[in-house]
Amino acid sequence: MNLFLILIISFVLSCIFVKVTIKYAAMFGLVDNPKVRHHPATLHKKIVPRAGGLPIFVSFIITSMLMIPYSQKLLGIMLGGLFLVSAGLLDDKYDLKNKYKFFAQVVAAVIVVASGIGITYITNPVHIFGGGDIVRLDNVRIIFDFLGTHSILVLADLFALFWIIWVINMVNFSAGVDGQLGGIGVIALMVIFAVSLRFYPDPGQTIVTKLALIGAGATLGFLIFNFYPAKIFPGDSGSYFLGFLIAVLSILSSAKVGTVILVMAIPLIDGVFTVIRRIVEHRSPFLGDRKHLHHRLLELGLSQRAVSLFYWLLCAILGAVALILPATQKLFAGVFIAIIVLGGIIWLNINLPTKARE
């Protein structure tokens, strides 16, 4: 099947559904009104439709059903995504409490893991965990009978659950300026697509290849309307689903979790720093503020477009590096980049006091 056709179908469907969402969002109360919804990270001055995850998800589902044969793993991804997008839409409308949103993330991750998607091993390039090039995570197994014989891979499943929930939240933290999230999502999914091509048309990787393209096309269709000045916001429905999809496909793509970590090093490091900073400040790690890296860049005088392009460029460069370097060099590159980015974030937080916003 022509892979380019898959990309085009998801892109066109996304553009259509984005326009529909923009037209009817206000009718269902799925809008962000800065005069009503007070949030310290708000940058816009006018009412903007939310629920950007809905057109992305709908185009993703339709294209997947048309282009990919049914499988248990595909069903798990669809059901997990459906639950997460539904919760995100409720938050887009009602601003749910953080504990309910976190519960939705856990449920979506459990659905995916229950469908058979797990991280059975991690690479061990410098033999940190002893001998061997890989560390098996499927050694501890619990077998039980319930309508047939089933098994739980304790370490593999727990690692997968943690990874999915972590990426969802880190990606959600990257929705600060117009176009930022969508661009990062397209680049990350295209890198996963490129990784999967190394094994294409292996049946085990075909689903990854196609789903990554479908997700990239759907996200690109949304990005056209989300780039500054945004006509629609992703909302939690969009950021949650994109983070969920990136996390799950990175697991399916021969467990190339390290590749995704390197590609998304900037938002992931910023997210980890943000969580730690808020905990140290005795605040909820999910409580918004204006101390993210993208906010600091805005305070330096960069425009929203410039900040988005800055993130896109760095993610694209890191994506290329991740595709070229072997595992050992990838690890050292990741550590080097983490030190530089973390140092920059700390410097900006020390030297750029947050402007009070009431």
* pLDDT tens, residue by residue, 140-163: 666 644 444 445 666 778 888 999
Q: What is the mean pLDDT of the chain?
A: 82
Model pLDDT, residue 47: 84
The more confidently predicted of residues 251 and 78 is 78
pLDDT band at 183 (very low <50, low <70, confident <90, very high): very high
- Is the pLDDT at 96 greater than 50? The verdict is yes
Give residue 261's Cα distance to chain centre.
Answer: 11
Among residues 97, 50, 73, which one has the least CA distance to residue 235? 50
The more confidently predicted of residues 146 and 274 is 274
The more confidently predicted of residues 19 and 284 is 19
pTM of the entire predicted model: 0.86
Q: Are 279 and 334 in contact (CB under 8 A)?
A: no
pLDDT band at 32 (very low <50, low <70, confident <90, very high): confident
- Is the pLDDT at 258 greater than 80? The verdict is no
Phi, psi of 292 (to 5 degrees): -70, 165
> Worst-scoring range by mean pLDDT, 46-60, 142-156, 288-302?
142-156
pLDDT tens across 35-45, in order?
666 555 556 56
Report the 10 Å Cβ neighbour count for 297: 20
Model pLDDT, residue 198: 78
The more confidently predicted of residues 293 and 190 is 190
User: What is the token pair recorded at 248?
Assistant: 């799950």
The 3-state secondary structure of the chain, one letter per residue: CCHHHHHHHHHHHHHHHHHHHHHHCHHHCCEECCCCCCCCCCCCCCCEECCCHHHHHHHHHHHHHHHCCCCHHHHHHHHHHHHHHHHHHHHHHHCCCHHHHHHHHHHHHHHHHHCCCCCCEEECCCCCCCCCCEEECCCCEEEEECCCEEEEEHHHHHHHHHHHHHHHHHHHCCCCCCCHHHHHHHHHHHHHHHHHHCCCCCHHHHHHHHHHHHHHHHHHHHHHHHCCCCCCCCHHHHHHHHHHHHHHHHHHCCCCHHHHHHHCHHHHHHHHHHHHHHHHCCCCCCCCCCCCHHHHHHHCCCCHHHHHHHHHHHHHHHHHHHHHCCHHHHHHHHHHHHHHHHHHHHHHHHHCCCCCCC
Model pLDDT, residue 144: 46
Model pLDDT, residue 358: 33
Phi, psi of 144 (to 5 degrees): -145, 160
User: What is the token pair recorded at 348?
Assistant: 């900006």
Model pLDDT, residue 122: 62
Model pLDDT, residue 39: 57
Enumerate the domain spans of the chain. 3-351
Determine what percent of the chain is predicted with pLDDT higher than 70: 80
Q: Using omega within 30 degrees of 0 as the cis cutoff, is the peptide bond preceding 201 cis?
A: yes
pLDDT band at 10 (very low <50, low <70, confident <90, very high): very high
User: What is the token pair recorded at 122?
Assistant: 């991690």
Model pLDDT, residue 38: 56
* Mean pLDDT along residues 327-352: 77
